[in-house]
Amino acid sequence: MKAILIITGLIISQAGFAQPKVKLYGYSQEFIPGMVPQRDIPDENGGPAIKRPVTVIQYSIFSVSFADIQPKELLMGGNWYKITGSAIQSTPVLSADAEKKQLVPRTNLKVLKIDKGDTVNNIIKISPALKKIVDSNELVISYLWKGKKYYASLKKLVILAPFHAE
């Protein structure tokens, strides 16, 4: 009987040291401006024209976890980006289009909206285990929890219907 209690106690104590489960939700949406800007805008110094894309891809990325995590970097399309997380107060999270698609379901867990920043200048070392994660997923984020770095991944981004501005 004592052995069962000791084993149960060890299992429960190990759960406190485990990495928190982080679920990612990721969406991409093409943004098409209502009025297409002039395409051949000359450079300020008389250089070649600046070519800007007519459409822009906007990303909506959310993390859901029971723990307070600090998002640090995001790997998407072969590039690492700095990221920040802002807390979402109420769920479910709905899209801004007329369809009102549910992006994050109702939950009592902590939800963060991940905002992509500038590219990371320093080279991030990729271990063999991380390389395996990167190769099989479209989106990988790194985050800090209790001073240690962890990774969460998403197999595929969901593509939303294009958004047409007026």
86-113, pLDDT tens digit by residue? 999 999 999 887 778 899 999 999 999 9
Please report which confidence band the pLDDT of residue 51 belongs to, taking 50, 70 and 90 as the band edges: low
Question: Lowest-pLDDT range, 5-9, 68-72, 90-94, 152-156?
Answer: 5-9
Residue 11: phi, psi to the nearest 5? Answer: -65, -45
Pair type for strands 22-32 and 163-164: parallel
- Which residues have CB under 8 Å from 79's CB, separation 6+? 119
Give the Cα-Cα-Cα angle 91, 16, 82 (nearest 5 degrees). Answer: 55
Q: What is the mean pLDDT of residues 18-36?
A: 86
Q: Bridge-partner residues for 23, per DSSP?
A: 64
* Spatial CA neighbour of 54 closest among 74, 34, 72, 84: 34
Tokens found for residue 22: 């982080």
Residue 143 CB-density burial (10 A; 0-12 exposed, 13-18 middle, 19+ buried)? buried
Please report which confidence band the pLDDT of residue 31 belongs to, taking 50, 70 and 90 as the band edges: confident
Q: CA–CA separation, 53 vs 37, rounded Å?
A: 10
The pLDDT of residue 163 is 81
Mean pLDDT computed over every residue of the chain:
84
The pLDDT of residue 17 is 58
Please report which confidence band the pLDDT of residue 5 belongs to, taking 50, 70 and 90 as the band edges: low
The pLDDT of residue 3 is 67
